[in-house]
Amino acid sequence: MTDNNQQDQAAVVLLSGGLDSTTVLAWASGAGYRCHCLSFDYGQRHTHELELARQNAARWGAVQHLVLKLGLEAIGGSALTSELAVPKGDPAGTPPAESAATDAEQIPVTYVPGRNIIFLSCAVAWAEVLGAGEIFIGVNAVDYSGYPDCRPDFLESFSRTANLGTKAGREGPGFRIQAPLLALSKAEIIKKGLALGVDYALTHSCYDPDEHHRPCGRCDACRLRRRGFAAAGVDDPLDYQSPAATTY
């Protein structure tokens, strides 16, 4: 794919309802793409994010919003899809997986086996049906949890595979995987989203919210988020179970 006029081009946007993917949706919508949002009910314990994904898809004028049910809880192997405990720590401490961002051997238990491989495969399949050449994903390789499927080499490899393994890739222009947040810090993502008009009160990051959907404030995702807002000098609009701390 080339960077010809993107106005009115169809794009598939992977939308979880989280901070990063909502920012990417705003980014793609603001760039003029006709966004087809794709979310997954994959057995995650934090399903509130799907309702927020629905709200944001509508808010940003998505052409449609498709939610696929995958049931990865049948496979398990992750604290997000099984009874394994979600790691938590002091809200003022270092995020438990921060060191994993630079050490490939320390992939945390919140990693969901094969998740982005599966999600992107579904996105490619839908994009091929839609005739869309652009696929947006909100992965980040700076302030993230060290997951192997959020790294540049994975995205490059998957893009090659998608274009080798599809009719659109073999006989047409193929697909481009766009990850506009890949090299940004969480603070930079938040600032970018606010400039685009993202309402972060309508996003969810927590791996283990309570029955009222309040984020725990202590899991890896919560602490990365809170640290990002603190670095951006902006108040996080979410109501956390654990009180705010001065450092994250």
Please state which of the ranges 48-52, 109-113, 140-144, 173-177 shows the lowest mean pLDDT: 140-144
Please state which of the ranges 39-53, 72-86, 138-152 shows the lowest mean pLDDT: 138-152
pLDDT at 45: 86
pLDDT at 100: 36
| Residue 101 pLDDT > 70 | no
pLDDT at 37: 98
| Residue 108 pLDDT > 80 | yes
The residues with which 135 forms a beta bridge, in sequence order, are 12, 177
| Residue 105 pLDDT > 80 | no
Three-state DSSP string of 163-215: HHCCHHHHHCCCCEEECCCCCCCHHHHHHHHHHHCCCHHHCCCCCCCCCCCCC
- Percent of the chain past pLDDT 90, that is, above it, reads 83
- Tell me the backbone φ, ψ of residue 135, rounded to 5 degrees: -130, 125
Please state which of the ranges 7-11, 24-28, 60-64 shows the lowest mean pLDDT: 7-11
| Residue 206 pLDDT > 60 | yes
pLDDT at 246: 43
| Residue 2 pLDDT > 80 | no
pLDDT at 155: 97
